[in-house]
Amino acid sequence: MIAVIGGGIIGLSIARSLRARGAEVTVYDPEPDGTGGAWHVAAGMLAPGRESAFEHPRLESLLEASLALWPEFAAGLGDVGYDTTGTLGVALTADDHVEAAREWRHQKLQPLTGSQVRDREPALSPRIRAGVHAPHEVQADPRRVVAALRRALAGRIVARRITDLGEVAADTVVVAAGCGTAALTGLPIRPVKGQVLRLRGEPGLLRHVIDGSADGRHVYLVPRADGEIVVGATQEERGDSAATAGGVHDLLRAALDLVPGLAEHTLTEITVGHRPGTPDNGPLLGRLDARTVVAAGHHRNGILLAPITARLVADLVLTGSDDPFLDDFAPGRNGCA
Ligand code: GLY
C-alpha cells in the first residue's frame, strides 16, 4: 500500500501514475473537493523558457522533459484546456526591451518588431516596442486538470489532514503536500505568495498567451476559449493570503498597458496562492528514507512539472529507478537538506 500525502496537482498526478501501473494507492488531503491548492490559483502556462531562468542549472532540462510529456498527459485526462497556440513575449518600453532581450537571447527566440507581434495578436497595444513568438510554450487549465485527476482517482482520496507521517498506515509514503511538506519533513520549503486575477469578456480578444513587461511590471495573460483571461502574478516572499491594492494595481496596470481592450472586461476573481519555493527553486524529488519519498517544492512550475514528477516518482517507488534527474533534484542536495 502506498499513501500519497497531498491532493494537489502533483500528488494526484503521482497517484494516477501509480494506479495506472497497478499499485494500491490512497491520497490524503484535508479538503479533497476544495480549492485551497496552488493549482486553483495557477494560470497553467507550460513555458520552460519563461519560468526557469537563472535558477537550478538543470531546471530548464527538467521543464523541457516534462513539456514533452504534456500532450500524452493531457490526452489521457480528456478536455483540460490544453491549447497549443503558443506564447508571445512582449516588451512595452525600450527599458523593458533591454531586460527582456536578455532572456529571449538565452531562449534563442527570433526577435519581432512591435508591428510584427501585433500582426499575430491585433489586441496588443501599438505602443509595444518588440516581442518574440514561442510556439512551443503552451497552456492548460489547472482547474480542469485537477477535476479530471480527481475523477480518475474517485474512491481513492481520503479527507484527512496528516500532521505526522507516522499516522499513516502504508509501506511507502509519498509527501507531495506543497508548502505543507516543510512541516511534515523538515525540508526547506517556503511560501512564495502570488496574487492572480481573472477577467472575463467576449471570447477571442487574445489567442496567444502573452508574457510581457510594461514599465518594469511583469505580467502574463492566459486566455481561455470561453473568454476568461488569467492575469498573473505577483511574486512576494511572504506567506499571508491578503490580496493587496498594490498587487492588483500593478497587475491591472501592466495588463491594460499591453492590451488596452481589457478595460472592458469584468474582473471576476482575485486569488492568492503560495508557490512552494526551495533554496535553489528547483523541486525536491526523491527518497528521504526507506519508507518516505518527497515530491515537492515545484515553485513556479507545479503545473508544467506534474507529468515528469509523476513518472519519476512512480518509477522510483515501483522499480527503484535511478534516473539522473533524481540525482539533480535530490532532496539532500546542497542547501536543500
Ligand atoms: N508559473 C507562473 C507563476 O508561478 O506565477
pLDDT above 70 (res 50): no
CB count in 10 Å sphere of residue 21: 13
Overall pTM surpassing 0.85 (yes/no): yes
233 prior amide bond cis, ω within 30: yes
Mean pLDDT of 131-146: 97
> What's residue 336's pLDDT?
78
79 secondary structure, DSSP code: -
pLDDT above 90 (res 332): no
Please say whether the beta carbons of 222 and 44 come within 8 A. Answer: yes
CB proximity list for 258: less than 8 A, separation 6 or greater: 90, 92, 124, 125, 128, 210, 212, 214, 219, 221
Which of 103-107, 122-126, 151-155, 294-298 has the weakest average pLDDT? 103-107
Mean pLDDT of 290-312: 97
> What's residue 322's pLDDT?
80
Domains, the chain: 2-79+140-189+278-328 (3.50.50.60), 87-135+191-276 (3.30.9.10)
pLDDT tens digits, 79-100:
999 999 999 999 999 999 999 9
Q: Report the distance separating Cα 37 and Cα 322, nearest Å.
A: 30
> What's residue 76's pLDDT?
97
What residues pair up with 214 in beta bridges, in sequence order? 217
pLDDT above 70 (res 54): no
CB proximity list for 186: less than 8 A, separation 6 or greater: none
The CA 22 to ligand 1 mean position distance, Å, reads 33
> What's residue 333's pLDDT?
85
User: Which string of DSSP letters, residue by residue, matches 147-160?
Assistant: HHHHHHTTTSEEE-
Pairing of strands 157-159, 25-29: parallel
**Which of 51, 192, 219, 251 gets mutated to test ligand 1 (max ligand atoms within 8 A of its CB)?**
51
Residue that wins the pLDDT comparison between 251 and 332: 251
pLDDT above 90 (res 334): no
Nearest atom, ligand 1, residue 233 CA: 5
Average pLDDT, the chain: 96
Protein residue whose Cα sits closest to atom 5 of ligand 1:
233
Per this entry, what is the length of the chain?
337
Please count the CA atoms within 13 angstroms of the CA of 308 that sit on its side-chain side.
26
> What's residue 52's pLDDT?
56
Protein residue whose Cα sits closest to atom 2 of ligand 1:
300
Mean pLDDT of 184-198: 97
Nearest atom, ligand 1, residue 300 CA: 4
Confidence of residue 280 (pLDDT cuts 50, 70, 90): very high
Q: Report the distance separating Cα 138 and Cα 150, nearest Å.
A: 23
Which of 43-52, 210-219, 235-244 has the weakest average pLDDT? 43-52
- Output the ligand 1 site: residues, CB below 6 A: 45, 51, 194, 232-233, 275, 300
Nearest atom, ligand 1, residue 51 CA: 1
Nearest atom, ligand 1, residue 304 CA: 1
% of the chain beyond a pLDDT of 90: 93
Confidence of residue 207 (pLDDT cuts 50, 70, 90): very high
Please say whether the beta carbons of 173 and 291 come within 8 A. Answer: yes
Protein residue whose Cα sits closest to atom 3 of ligand 1:
300
Which of 106-145 are b and which e, b meaning 16 or more Cβ less than 10 Å from the residue's Cβ?
Answer: ebebebbebeebbeebebbbeebbbbbbbebbbbbbbbbb
Closest CA to 15 of 225, 295, 259: 295
CB count in 10 Å sphere of residue 273: 23
Enumerate the H helices of 76-202 as residue ranges: 94-106, 114-120, 142-152, 181-185
Confidence of residue 130 (pLDDT cuts 50, 70, 90): very high
Q: Report the distance separating Cα 60 and Cα 74, nearest Å.
A: 21
Place of cell 523538515: 186
**Which of 220, 221, 250 gets mutated to test ligand 1 (max ligand atoms within 8 A of its CB)?**
220
Protein residue whose Cα sits closest to atom 4 of ligand 1:
300
Mean pLDDT of 242-270: 98
Q: At what angle do helices 59-75 and 306-319 cross, to 10 degrees?
A: 90
Residue that wins the pLDDT comparison between 335 and 258: 258
pLDDT above 70 (res 153): yes
> What's residue 57's pLDDT?
84
Protein residue whose Cα sits closest to atom 1 of ligand 1:
300
